[in-house]
Structure 1
Amino acid sequence: MKENGSTTSQTRKEEILKAAVQVFARLGFYKATTADIAASASISQPYVFKFFKSKEELFLAALEEAFERIQSEFEKIQVGEDLQKQMISAYEQLMIDFPDEIHLQTQAFGISEPSIRQKTQESFLQLYIMVVKKFTSAGIPDPEMTAKVFLAKGIFCNLTLVLDLPELKF
Protein backbone atom coordinates (compact mmCIF):
# COMPACT_ATOMS: atom_id res chain seq x y z
CA MET A 1 0.00 0.00 0.00
CA LYS A 2 1.47 3.30 -1.09
CA GLU A 3 1.47 6.23 1.34
CA ASN A 4 0.24 9.56 0.07
CA GLY A 5 2.51 12.62 0.16
CA SER A 6 0.91 14.23 3.21
CA THR A 7 1.14 11.03 5.26
CA THR A 8 4.80 10.61 4.32
CA SER A 9 5.42 14.28 5.06
CA GLN A 10 3.72 14.02 8.45
CA THR A 11 5.70 10.89 9.27
CA ARG A 12 8.95 12.63 8.34
CA LYS A 13 8.08 15.62 10.47
CA GLU A 14 7.39 13.32 13.43
CA GLU A 15 10.72 11.53 12.84
CA ILE A 16 12.53 14.87 12.83
CA LEU A 17 10.81 15.89 16.07
CA LYS A 18 11.74 12.59 17.70
CA ALA A 19 15.35 12.99 16.60
CA ALA A 20 15.36 16.59 17.81
CA VAL A 21 14.18 15.59 21.28
CA GLN A 22 16.98 13.02 21.51
CA VAL A 23 19.66 15.39 20.25
CA PHE A 24 18.54 18.33 22.39
CA ALA A 25 18.37 16.06 25.44
CA ARG A 26 21.90 14.81 24.80
CA LEU A 27 23.62 18.03 23.66
CA GLY A 28 21.42 20.85 24.93
CA PHE A 29 19.75 23.60 22.94
CA TYR A 30 22.83 25.75 22.43
CA LYS A 31 25.26 22.99 21.45
CA ALA A 32 22.88 20.94 19.25
CA THR A 33 22.79 21.82 15.57
CA THR A 34 20.27 21.11 12.86
CA ALA A 35 23.04 19.05 11.23
CA ASP A 36 23.14 16.85 14.36
CA ILE A 37 19.36 16.47 14.24
CA ALA A 38 19.38 15.68 10.52
CA ALA A 39 22.06 13.02 11.03
CA SER A 40 20.05 11.49 13.87
CA ALA A 41 16.96 11.38 11.64
CA SER A 42 19.01 10.01 8.70
CA ILE A 43 18.07 12.91 6.45
CA SER A 44 19.87 15.86 4.91
CA GLN A 45 20.12 19.08 6.89
CA PRO A 46 18.19 21.11 4.26
CA TYR A 47 15.28 18.68 4.66
CA VAL A 48 14.91 19.75 8.31
CA PHE A 49 14.23 23.27 7.05
CA LYS A 50 11.37 21.99 4.88
CA PHE A 51 9.43 21.57 8.13
CA PHE A 52 11.06 24.00 10.57
CA LYS A 53 12.40 27.47 9.79
CA SER A 54 15.06 27.34 12.49
CA LYS A 55 16.57 25.30 15.29
CA GLU A 56 14.56 27.44 17.72
CA GLU A 57 11.28 26.63 15.95
CA LEU A 58 12.18 22.93 16.08
CA PHE A 59 12.96 23.14 19.79
CA LEU A 60 9.63 24.91 20.39
CA ALA A 61 7.74 22.18 18.54
CA ALA A 62 9.51 19.47 20.52
CA LEU A 63 8.87 21.30 23.78
CA GLU A 64 5.20 21.76 22.96
CA GLU A 65 4.86 18.06 22.22
CA ALA A 66 6.49 17.16 25.54
CA PHE A 67 4.19 19.44 27.56
CA GLU A 68 1.13 18.27 25.61
CA ARG A 69 1.98 14.67 26.46
CA ILE A 70 1.88 15.44 30.19
CA GLN A 71 -1.30 17.48 29.82
CA SER A 72 -2.95 14.68 27.87
CA GLU A 73 -2.00 11.99 30.39
CA PHE A 74 -3.23 14.08 33.32
CA GLU A 75 -6.51 14.90 31.54
CA LYS A 76 -7.23 11.17 31.10
CA ILE A 77 -7.22 10.63 34.85
CA GLN A 78 -10.66 10.57 36.41
CA VAL A 79 -11.21 12.64 39.53
CA GLY A 80 -11.35 10.38 42.56
CA GLU A 81 -10.00 10.07 46.05
CA ASP A 82 -6.65 8.76 44.80
CA LEU A 83 -6.25 11.50 42.18
CA GLN A 84 -2.77 12.62 43.24
CA LYS A 85 -1.54 9.04 43.41
CA GLN A 86 -2.85 8.39 39.89
CA MET A 87 -1.22 11.56 38.58
CA ILE A 88 2.10 10.64 40.20
CA SER A 89 1.92 7.16 38.66
CA ALA A 90 1.14 8.64 35.24
CA TYR A 91 4.06 11.05 35.51
CA GLU A 92 6.45 8.33 36.68
CA GLN A 93 5.44 6.30 33.62
CA LEU A 94 6.12 9.30 31.38
CA MET A 95 9.57 9.61 32.95
CA ILE A 96 10.23 5.96 32.07
CA ASP A 97 8.76 6.11 28.56
CA PHE A 98 9.94 9.59 27.53
CA PRO A 99 13.04 10.53 29.56
CA ASP A 100 14.43 12.70 26.76
CA GLU A 101 11.31 14.87 26.89
CA ILE A 102 11.90 15.37 30.61
CA HIS A 103 15.47 16.46 29.82
CA LEU A 104 14.13 18.87 27.20
CA GLN A 105 11.63 20.43 29.62
CA THR A 106 14.24 20.75 32.33
CA GLN A 107 16.57 22.52 29.91
CA ALA A 108 13.79 24.85 28.81
CA PHE A 109 13.51 26.33 32.30
CA GLY A 110 17.00 27.81 31.86
CA ILE A 111 16.92 28.94 28.22
CA SER A 112 16.69 32.70 27.88
CA GLU A 113 15.50 32.97 24.25
CA PRO A 114 12.23 34.94 24.51
CA SER A 115 10.14 32.54 22.40
CA ILE A 116 11.32 29.49 24.35
CA ARG A 117 10.84 31.25 27.67
CA GLN A 118 7.32 32.29 26.64
CA LYS A 119 6.38 28.78 25.43
CA THR A 120 7.72 27.29 28.69
CA GLN A 121 5.78 29.82 30.79
CA GLU A 122 2.55 29.26 28.85
CA SER A 123 2.86 25.47 28.90
CA PHE A 124 3.70 25.28 32.57
CA LEU A 125 0.88 27.69 33.46
CA GLN A 126 -1.61 25.61 31.43
CA LEU A 127 -0.46 22.52 33.31
CA TYR A 128 -0.85 24.33 36.65
CA ILE A 129 -4.37 25.53 35.76
CA MET A 130 -5.42 22.03 34.72
CA VAL A 131 -4.02 20.50 37.94
CA VAL A 132 -5.80 23.14 40.06
CA LYS A 133 -9.10 22.34 38.30
CA LYS A 134 -8.65 18.62 38.90
CA PHE A 135 -7.74 19.19 42.55
CA THR A 136 -10.71 21.54 42.99
CA SER A 137 -13.06 18.98 41.43
CA ALA A 138 -11.67 16.32 43.77
CA GLY A 139 -12.38 18.54 46.80
CA ILE A 140 -8.71 18.74 47.74
CA PRO A 141 -8.21 21.50 50.34
CA ASP A 142 -6.34 24.59 49.12
CA PRO A 143 -6.09 23.30 45.54
CA GLU A 144 -3.85 26.18 44.37
CA MET A 145 -1.15 25.55 46.97
CA THR A 146 -1.50 21.78 46.66
CA ALA A 147 -1.03 22.09 42.89
CA LYS A 148 2.08 24.23 43.39
CA VAL A 149 3.59 21.68 45.77
CA PHE A 150 2.61 18.84 43.42
CA LEU A 151 4.29 20.53 40.44
CA ALA A 152 7.34 21.50 42.52
CA LYS A 153 7.78 17.84 43.42
CA GLY A 154 7.49 17.02 39.73
CA ILE A 155 10.27 19.47 38.90
CA PHE A 156 12.40 17.93 41.63
CA CYS A 157 11.72 14.50 40.11
CA ASN A 158 12.86 15.90 36.75
CA LEU A 159 16.11 17.00 38.35
CA THR A 160 16.71 13.58 39.89
CA LEU A 161 16.30 12.06 36.42
CA VAL A 162 18.46 14.61 34.59
CA LEU A 163 21.20 14.52 37.25
CA ASP A 164 20.93 10.73 37.55
CA LEU A 165 20.30 10.86 41.30
CA PRO A 166 17.65 8.16 41.86
CA GLU A 167 18.45 8.11 45.58
CA LEU A 168 16.74 11.54 45.85
CA LYS A 169 13.53 10.35 44.18
CA PHE A 170 10.37 10.57 46.30
Structure 2
Amino acid sequence: MSADDRRESILQAAILEYGRTGMHATSTEVIAERAGISQPYLFRLFGTKAELITAAIEHHTDGLRAVFRDAVENCPAGLTPLAAMGVAYLELLQDDPNDLRCQLHTWAAASDPAIKEVAQRTYRAVWDEVAELSGESPAEVRRFMSYGMLLTVLGALDLPDLFGDPLETLQEF
Protein backbone atom coordinates (compact mmCIF):
# COMPACT_ATOMS: atom_id res chain seq x y z
CA MET A 1 0.00 0.00 0.00
CA SER A 2 1.37 3.41 -0.92
CA ALA A 3 1.78 6.10 1.73
CA ASP A 4 -1.11 8.06 0.17
CA ASP A 5 -3.37 5.00 0.19
CA ARG A 6 -2.45 4.25 3.81
CA ARG A 7 -3.17 7.85 4.82
CA GLU A 8 -6.54 7.69 3.01
CA SER A 9 -7.38 4.44 4.79
CA ILE A 10 -6.51 5.96 8.17
CA LEU A 11 -8.55 9.11 7.52
CA GLN A 12 -11.57 7.09 6.38
CA ALA A 13 -11.30 4.93 9.51
CA ALA A 14 -11.02 8.07 11.65
CA ILE A 15 -14.07 9.67 10.00
CA LEU A 16 -16.06 6.48 10.56
CA GLU A 17 -15.06 6.13 14.21
CA TYR A 18 -15.38 9.85 14.97
CA GLY A 19 -18.81 9.85 13.30
CA ARG A 20 -19.86 6.91 15.46
CA THR A 21 -18.51 8.07 18.83
CA GLY A 22 -17.47 11.73 18.83
CA MET A 23 -14.21 13.35 19.85
CA HIS A 24 -13.69 12.05 23.36
CA ALA A 25 -14.94 8.50 22.87
CA THR A 26 -13.08 7.95 19.61
CA SER A 27 -10.56 5.16 20.04
CA THR A 28 -7.24 5.51 18.25
CA GLU A 29 -6.80 1.78 18.83
CA VAL A 30 -9.98 1.05 16.85
CA ILE A 31 -8.94 3.49 14.11
CA ALA A 32 -5.54 1.82 13.79
CA GLU A 33 -7.17 -1.61 13.71
CA ARG A 34 -9.68 -0.52 11.02
CA ALA A 35 -6.82 0.91 8.95
CA GLY A 36 -4.69 -2.20 9.41
CA ILE A 37 -1.80 -0.42 11.11
CA SER A 38 -0.35 -0.27 14.60
CA GLN A 39 -1.39 2.40 17.04
CA PRO A 40 2.23 3.63 17.45
CA TYR A 41 2.43 4.05 13.66
CA LEU A 42 -0.83 6.06 13.77
CA PHE A 43 0.73 8.43 16.29
CA ARG A 44 3.96 8.59 14.29
CA LEU A 45 1.91 9.84 11.32
CA PHE A 46 -0.46 12.22 13.10
CA GLY A 47 1.20 13.06 16.42
CA THR A 48 -1.88 13.25 18.63
CA LYS A 49 -5.48 12.14 18.61
CA ALA A 50 -6.56 15.78 18.18
CA GLU A 51 -4.29 16.15 15.13
CA LEU A 52 -5.72 12.94 13.65
CA ILE A 53 -9.30 14.12 14.21
CA THR A 54 -8.44 17.53 12.77
CA ALA A 55 -6.99 15.86 9.67
CA ALA A 56 -10.11 13.67 9.39
CA ILE A 57 -12.42 16.70 9.63
CA GLU A 58 -10.40 18.53 6.98
CA HIS A 59 -10.43 15.44 4.74
CA HIS A 60 -14.17 15.06 5.16
CA THR A 61 -14.74 18.72 4.32
CA ASP A 62 -12.49 18.53 1.26
CA GLY A 63 -14.60 15.60 0.08
CA LEU A 64 -17.84 17.51 0.58
CA ARG A 65 -16.47 20.50 -1.31
CA ALA A 66 -15.40 18.20 -4.16
CA VAL A 67 -18.92 16.74 -4.30
CA PHE A 68 -20.35 20.25 -4.59
CA ARG A 69 -17.86 21.23 -7.32
CA ASP A 70 -18.66 18.06 -9.26
CA ALA A 71 -22.40 18.68 -8.88
CA VAL A 72 -22.10 22.17 -10.34
CA GLU A 73 -19.75 21.09 -13.14
CA ASN A 74 -22.22 18.37 -14.13
CA CYS A 75 -25.39 20.31 -13.36
CA PRO A 76 -28.36 18.86 -15.24
CA ALA A 77 -30.35 21.21 -17.44
CA GLY A 78 -33.06 22.98 -15.52
CA LEU A 79 -31.26 22.92 -12.15
CA THR A 80 -29.50 25.88 -10.63
CA PRO A 81 -26.07 25.35 -9.09
CA LEU A 82 -27.63 25.51 -5.61
CA ALA A 83 -30.22 22.89 -6.51
CA ALA A 84 -27.52 20.64 -8.00
CA MET A 85 -25.45 20.94 -4.81
CA GLY A 86 -28.56 20.21 -2.76
CA VAL A 87 -29.32 17.05 -4.72
CA ALA A 88 -25.71 15.91 -4.30
CA TYR A 89 -25.92 16.58 -0.55
CA LEU A 90 -29.13 14.57 -0.27
CA GLU A 91 -27.38 11.67 -1.96
CA LEU A 92 -24.54 11.93 0.59
CA LEU A 93 -27.03 11.87 3.46
CA GLN A 94 -28.64 8.75 2.08
CA ASP A 95 -25.34 6.99 1.34
CA ASP A 96 -23.51 7.22 4.64
CA PRO A 97 -24.93 8.48 7.93
CA ASN A 98 -21.44 8.60 9.45
CA ASP A 99 -20.57 11.40 7.05
CA LEU A 100 -23.24 13.61 8.51
CA ARG A 101 -22.51 12.43 12.03
CA CYS A 102 -18.91 13.51 11.52
CA GLN A 103 -20.22 17.00 10.78
CA LEU A 104 -22.55 16.99 13.77
CA HIS A 105 -19.82 15.82 16.14
CA THR A 106 -17.54 18.55 14.84
CA TRP A 107 -20.06 21.27 15.51
CA ALA A 108 -20.98 19.79 18.89
CA ALA A 109 -17.31 19.63 19.91
CA ALA A 110 -16.59 23.19 18.79
CA SER A 111 -16.31 24.31 22.41
CA ASP A 112 -13.18 22.12 22.63
CA PRO A 113 -10.16 24.27 21.71
CA ALA A 114 -8.70 21.31 19.76
CA ILE A 115 -11.77 21.31 17.49
CA LYS A 116 -13.08 24.88 17.45
CA GLU A 117 -10.60 26.30 14.95
CA VAL A 118 -10.96 23.44 12.46
CA ALA A 119 -14.75 23.48 12.88
CA GLN A 120 -14.90 27.19 12.09
CA ARG A 121 -12.41 26.99 9.24
CA THR A 122 -14.00 24.01 7.51
CA TYR A 123 -17.57 25.30 7.87
CA ARG A 124 -16.48 28.64 6.41
CA ALA A 125 -14.70 26.80 3.56
CA VAL A 126 -17.94 25.01 2.66
CA TRP A 127 -19.90 28.26 2.95
CA ASP A 128 -17.42 30.10 0.71
CA GLU A 129 -17.41 27.24 -1.80
CA VAL A 130 -21.21 27.30 -2.03
CA ALA A 131 -21.18 31.08 -2.47
CA GLU A 132 -18.52 30.95 -5.17
CA LEU A 133 -20.03 28.02 -7.07
CA SER A 134 -23.55 29.42 -6.98
CA GLY A 135 -22.81 33.11 -7.46
CA GLU A 136 -25.79 33.76 -5.19
CA SER A 137 -26.29 36.53 -2.65
CA PRO A 138 -25.27 36.05 0.97
CA ALA A 139 -28.97 35.80 1.89
CA GLU A 140 -29.52 32.94 -0.60
CA VAL A 141 -26.40 31.13 0.58
CA ARG A 142 -27.62 31.49 4.17
CA ARG A 143 -31.02 30.04 3.19
CA PHE A 144 -29.37 27.14 1.36
CA MET A 145 -27.01 26.38 4.25
CA SER A 146 -29.94 26.56 6.68
CA TYR A 147 -31.84 24.00 4.65
CA GLY A 148 -28.74 21.81 4.54
CA MET A 149 -28.46 21.99 8.32
CA LEU A 150 -32.10 20.93 8.66
CA LEU A 151 -31.51 17.97 6.33
CA THR A 152 -28.40 17.00 8.30
CA VAL A 153 -30.28 16.96 11.60
CA LEU A 154 -33.24 15.06 10.14
CA GLY A 155 -30.88 12.55 8.57
CA ALA A 156 -28.99 12.06 11.84
CA LEU A 157 -32.26 11.51 13.67
CA ASP A 158 -33.39 9.09 10.96
CA LEU A 159 -36.48 11.15 10.24
CA PRO A 160 -36.47 11.31 6.44
CA ASP A 161 -40.27 11.52 6.41
CA LEU A 162 -39.86 15.10 7.72
CA PHE A 163 -37.77 16.05 4.67
CA GLY A 164 -40.99 16.64 2.77
CA ASP A 165 -40.17 16.57 -0.91
CA PRO A 166 -36.58 17.80 -0.86
CA LEU A 167 -36.39 17.91 -4.66
CA GLU A 168 -39.40 20.21 -4.73
CA THR A 169 -37.82 22.42 -2.08
CA LEU A 170 -34.48 22.40 -3.88
CA GLN A 171 -36.17 23.69 -7.03
CA GLU A 172 -36.81 26.88 -5.07
CA PHE A 173 -33.06 27.42 -5.09
The TM tier, using the shorter chain, reads 0.7 to 0.9
TM-score by length of structure 2 reads 0.82
Unmatched 5+ residue regions in structure 1? 1-6
Q: Do the aligned residues in 2 keep the contact of 1:23 with 1:40 (CA within 8 Å)?
A: no
SS at match of 2:23: coil
Matches of 1:24 and 1:130 in 2, distance apart?
24
Secondary structure, in 3 states, of the residue corresponding to 1:43? Answer: coil
The CA deviation string for residues 25-52 of structure 1, in whole angstroms up to 9 with x for no partner, is 1111111121121222232211211211
Question: Within the alignment, does 1:82 sit opposite 2:76 as a pair?
Answer: no
Q: Distance in 2 between matches of 1:130 and 1:44?
A: 36
* Alpha-carbon distance in structure 1 between the residues aligned to 2:3 and 2:134: 40
State the distance in 1 between where 2:30 and 2:62 align. Answer: 25
Question: TM-score when scaled to structure 1?
Answer: 0.83
Mean Cα displacement is larger for which, 97-106 or 22-31? 97-106
Pick closer, same or farther for the CA change 1:90–1:115 going to 2, 3 Å.
same
1:133, CA displacement in angstroms?
2.6
Once the two structures are superposed, residues 23-80 of structure 1 have per-residue CA deviations (whole angstroms, 9 ceiling, x without a partner) of 1111111111211212222322112112111111111111111111121122231477
Q: Which residue of 2 aligns with 1:122?
A: 121
Gapped runs of 5+ residues in structure 2? 167-173
Equivalences for 1:153-168 in 2 at 5 Å?
153-168=147-162
CA–CA distance in structure 2, aligned partners of residues 54 and 66 of structure 1 = 18
The structure that is helix-richer by fraction is 2
The answer to whether the 8 A contact 1:63-1:101 is kept is no
Deviation of 1:110 after TM superposition, in Å, equals: 1.3
The one-letter amino acid of 1:105's match is Q
Any conservation in 2 of the 1:19–1:41 contact (CA below 8 Å)? Answer: yes
What does residue range 132-143 of structure 1 map to in structure 2 within 5 Å?
132-136=131-135, 140=136, 143=137
Shift of 1:95: 2.0
Could you say which residue in structure 1 is the equivalent of 2:62?
68
% identical aligned pairs: 28
* In 1, Cα distance between equivalents of 2:34 and 2:59: 19
Give 4+ residue runs of structure 1 displaced > 6 Å after superposition.
Answer: none
1:54 aligns with 2:83: no
RMSD: 1.9
**How far apart, CA to CA, are the structure 2 residues paired with 1:120 and 1:13?**
21
Any idea what SS the aligned residue of 2:100 has?
A: helix
Residues in 2 aligned to 1:133 and 1:8: alpha-carbon distance in whole angstroms: 34
AA matched with 1:123: T
